[in-house]
A and B are shown apart, each in its own frame.
Chain A
């Protein structure tokens, strides 16, 4: 079997889901650590970070790669969901099965919410930063002129509705990670009596810590506004 053919098999597609998923997990780690600058209470730190991220050529390359992973994760999710729905057949059960991980049964729904969040999130900040939408003022730090993304963020997080939406989205992300993290390793065949419990623990810790940190940002900024 050619590897192209392998990739279009159920397992191949799942491997694509898991590889892209693991890379997105890494992306989240980077993203959240950068965003922590928002909580340093000074606009400059965040603005420098944003400036670096939008101008460093290496970051640009990495960012484009991550866009591909996002896309792959979403496209494969749609293909697999359609395939699985077809496999389940036309006649639904009258009483449905309650076994297994409950979160895993809603990965598609959770993922869709995250996708919607992603669009809104990009429109709100990324598009503004790239001057595709809205207006952004500039600020000068250490003699370098850069965009004042901090103000954009601070303004939006003064709105309780937006803060609530962000917090809810982070709950959704937490659930998605709760299953996704360990599941990615299972799909790659990395299941082993010795390491699986460690992976499972790390996955759960990660799926709590990262969304909590993300969620804390709008809450703290709202309280400080």
Chain B
């Protein structure tokens, strides 16, 4: 398309593998169409690199429509780039100006080790989910879907939390690399819904325990997480997690959770 184009400079973190040293490399990409997405710009760069015989820059990505949570990238000091409420794959080059230098880094946190270049290992999130991010219900034998009425406002708030795509931007932005926003989104969703009620204590305790075991930090209520969350999940859910956790820790009747 004969639209507007810009020239940009990039400083990108390159690292051959986990536990290997990494460093920034500089690149230049010219005639970048402003209609390109940021990842398409990287595709173009990678095709050029590959043709030159250099290993392309590895980065995670998949759906490219902002929902799978696979893409990451810490762009100019901000997870998913400078705009609000979107993922990196939804970021377009028109956001940048001609001649600009863009610094691209991987998510950094002890619990997210770099696998290669900009690709990090986020399986710690899966393990937090495995600790309790579910309702223990087997397939079949469940009541009719309309058996329990749930007020619209409650369902809507649960949906606000449920929108989390598990990308890890919250951890990347947090000065403490805390995964409280991620953990709270699931705890909050299931605490709001009657279906999640039976296990709410066990869930809050187990998920926080796993969160800590993975080496994520504590929440300092800075709010950087909600500012960068592509799904704009609010830290009120962290407050709800704190409430759930406190209640589970200090109320009686904790027989449903032994460790």
Question: Does chain A touch chain B in the assembled complex, meaning CB atoms less than 8 Å apart?
Answer: yes
Residues of chain B within 8 A (CB-CB) of A91 are 22, 108
Partner of A3, one of B109, B208, B223, B250: B250
Given A1-B249, A88-B175, CB of A83 within 8 Å of CB of B242: no
Q: Are A11 and B242 in contact (CB under 8 A)?
A: yes
Q: Which residues of B contact A13 (CB under 8 A)?
A: 218
B70-88 residues at the A interface, CB under 8 angstroms: 74, 76-79
Q: How far is the CA of A190 from the CA of B108 in the complex (A)?
A: 30
Taking a contact as CB atoms under 8 Å apart, the answer to whether A84 and B24 are in contact is no
Structural contact, B222 and A3, CB atoms closer than 8 A:
no
Q: With both chains docked as a complex, state the minimum distance between the C-beta of B238 and any C-beta of chain A, in angstroms.
A: 7
Interface of A is mostly: helix
- What band does the interface of chain B fall in when counting residues whose beta carbon is under 8 Å from A? 35 or more
A128 within 8 A of B: no
Stretch of A100-108, A131-139, A163-171, A205-213 with 4 or more beta carbons under 8 angstroms from chain B: A100-108
Give the chain B neighbours of A11 by CB distance below 8 A.
208, 218-219, 241-242, 245-246
Known: A99-B223, A100-B227, A190-B239. A84 touches B218 (CB 8 A): yes
Q: How many Å from the CB of B91 to the closest CB on chain A?
A: 16
- Name B222-258 residues within 8 Å CB distance of A: 222-228, 235-236, 238-246, 248-250, 254, 257
Not counting A10-B178, A91-B108, a sample of 12 additional A-B residue pairs whose C-beta atoms are within 8 angstroms of each other reads: A9-B208, A11-B245, A11-B246, A13-B218, A84-B176, A84-B177, A87-B177, A95-B76, A188-B246, A189-B245, A190-B239, A191-B239
Q: What is B's interface to A at a CB cutoff of 8 Å?
A: 11, 22, 24, 74, 76-79, 103, 105, 108-111, 173, 175-178, 180, 205, 208-209, 211-212, 215-228, 235-236, 238-246, 248-250, 254, 257, 259
